């Protein structure tokens, strides 16, 4: 058997990279979500208010979104392997050092800043970077699988962390999270590679070798320059606007207020929380399927369909709440779960096709708009409940915004824009 035949029988290195990325993303999602189940134990031990503890979680969420474009630029400068390994060490430090806390500001620093920056460096821009560099064939499917890792992380980690916190104390749970983060570091250092040329191969499905990315000397400057360039393109604003509505209608509204809204109608909070967990389960299926369809269908049409269907489901949600879970509510949970983050693979694809090599950083800014939209919706829905006594108006407004996002998606310029057009625009300026 020739050396060429032997190499052809080996799994392509891109699958090793995707596997390591999946593990890191599963961990990042679990690490980021873990503080939510430790709020009560910390309140009981230290007497800190729920507001103070929630402030750390809020800082975590904001940094998770805003750090993404800068992390993508840092990956261009230092490489994915160094950035992801460093991010895991930062998460491990942020979680592990909490066992020595004595003041609330330390909680804000460790849970908020350390864990927020660490997990933000492994956010969805990491997905965009891996798929852009390592895959030509099956890009959409791989994006879907890696995006689903976020839901899988919460499903895997939260029950474990909650059980440990209840049975052994929150310090044990924090140390387990820290140890899990450190355990992934050797895997990243061994198997994750920055570019196919590092291991003498090409991207999966590529017919010719792509040049390795040129390392940039500036990280923040690079991210901001890409934002300035992208802001001249209408496609960026349409994607960012749609993704802001995506965040508002998922994490900001359903993720934050579904449980209290259901409780308003007499449903036990534990039952409502269980329904929300099922949303995460069906999210895995829906996101992988969305990645598959992204390879087959124009991403603009997929986004329009996803936003339209999500908006329709939100318009009927106020009529489904009851003290018990009836079949229509089960149908909503399944349908909404399938659609939860199905928007990510087509959005990543449109950023890649519209902005070429800058696509991962552009997606970082688009993802930041997602988190901003989520924060605005979470606050606005709370105000709606306080002033009107129900969440009904919030559901209706969100449904209408989803319809607007569908229209914006259809107005995106054909995704067959190449990076050469962007390069020409830069030369012209």
369-400 pLDDT, tens digit each: 988 888 788 888 888 888 888 889 999 999 99
135 SS3 class: strand
How far is residue 318's CA from residue 324's CA, in Å, rounded to a whole number?
A: 14
**92: Cβ–Cβ under 8 A, 6 or more apart, which residues?**
178, 179, 181, 182
Select 10-199's CATH number: 3.40.50.300, 1.20.1250.20, 1.10.10.60, 3.30.40.230: 1.20.1250.20
- pLDDT exceeding 90 applies to what percent of the chain? 24
- In this prediction the pTM is 0.72
220-428 shares the fold of 10-199: yes
Domain boundaries, the chain: 10-199, 220-428
What integer pLDDT is reported at residue 420 of this predicted model? 45
CATH of domain 220-428: 1.20.1250.20
Q: Are 64 and 125 in contact (CB under 8 A)?
A: no
325 pLDDT band, cuts 50/70/90, is confident
Q: Are 272 and 262 in contact (CB under 8 A)?
A: yes
**Sign of torsion over alpha carbons 240, 244, 249, 251:** positive
How far is residue 52's CA from residue 62's CA, in Å, rounded to a whole number?
A: 16
Model pLDDT for residues 214-227, shown as the tens digit of each residue: 545 556 777 888 88
Q: Estimate to the nearest angstrom the gap between the alpha carbon of 128 and the chain centroid.
A: 11
> Which range among 149-158, 257-266, 411-420 has the greatest average pLDDT?
257-266
Q: Are 329 and 276 in contact (CB under 8 A)?
A: no
What integer pLDDT is reported at residue 123 of this predicted model? 77
422 pLDDT band, cuts 50/70/90, is very low
Q: State mean pLDDT over 333-350.
A: 89
Model pLDDT for residues 173-190, shown as the tens digit of each residue: 889 888 888 988 998 888
> Is pLDDT at 423 greater than 70 in this prediction?
no
Model pLDDT for residues 47-57, shown as the tens digit of each residue: 887 667 767 77
What integer pLDDT is reported at residue 414 of this predicted model? 63
């Amino acid at each position: 058997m020739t050396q060429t035949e032997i190499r052809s029988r080996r799994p392509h290195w891109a699958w090793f990279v995707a596997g390591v990325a999946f593990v890191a993303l599963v961990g990042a999602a679990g690490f980021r979500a873990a503080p939510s189940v430790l709020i009560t134990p910390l309140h009981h031990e230290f007497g800190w208010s729920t507001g103070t503890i929630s402030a750390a979680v809020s800082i975590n969420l904001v940094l998770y979104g805003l750090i993404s474009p800068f992390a993508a630029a840092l990956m261009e400068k230092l490489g994915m392997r160094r950035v992801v390994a460093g991010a895991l060490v930062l998460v491990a430090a942020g979680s592990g050092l909490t066992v020595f806390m004595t003041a609330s500001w330390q909680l804000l620093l460790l849970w908020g800043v350390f864990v927020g920056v660490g997990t933000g460096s492994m956010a969805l821009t990491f997905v965009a970077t891996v798929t852009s560099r390592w895959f030509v064939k099956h890009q959409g499917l791989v994006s879907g699988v890696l995006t689903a890792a976020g839901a899988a992380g919460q499903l895997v980690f939260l029950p474990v962390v909650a059980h440990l916190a209840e049975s052994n104390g929150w310090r044990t749970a924090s140390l387990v999270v820290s140890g899990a983060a450190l355990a992934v570091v050797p895997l990243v250092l061994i198997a994750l590679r920055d570019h196919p040329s590092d291991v003498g191969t090409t991207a999966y499905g590529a017919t010719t070798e792509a040049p390795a990315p040129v390392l940039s000397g500036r990280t923040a400057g690079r991210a901001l320059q890409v934002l300035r360039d992208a802001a001249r393109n209408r496609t960026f604003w349409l994607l960012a606007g749609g993704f802001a509505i995506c965040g508002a209608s998922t994490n900001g509204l359903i993720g934050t207020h579904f449980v209290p809204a259901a409780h308003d109608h007499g449903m036990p909070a534990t039952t409502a929380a269980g329904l929300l967990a099922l949303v995460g389960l069906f999210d895995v299926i829906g996101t992988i399927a969305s990645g598959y369809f992204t390879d087959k269908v124009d991403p603009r049409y997929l986004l329009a369909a996803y936003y339209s269907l999500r908006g329709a489901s939100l318009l009927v949600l106020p009529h489904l709440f009851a003290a018990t879970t009836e079949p229509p509510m089960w149908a909503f949970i399944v349908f909404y779960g399938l659609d939860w983050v199905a928007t990510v693979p087509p959005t990543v694809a449109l950023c890649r096709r519209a902005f070429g090599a800058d696509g991962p950083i552009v997606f970082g800014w688009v993802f930041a708009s997602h988190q901003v939209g989520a924060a605005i919706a979470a606050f606005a829905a709370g105000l709606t409940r306080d002033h009107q006594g129900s969440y009904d108006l919030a559901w209706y407004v969100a449904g209408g915004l989803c319809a607007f996002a569908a229209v914006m998606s259809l107005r995106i310029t054909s995704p067959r824009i190449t990076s050469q057009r962007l390069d020409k625009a830069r030369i012209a300026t």
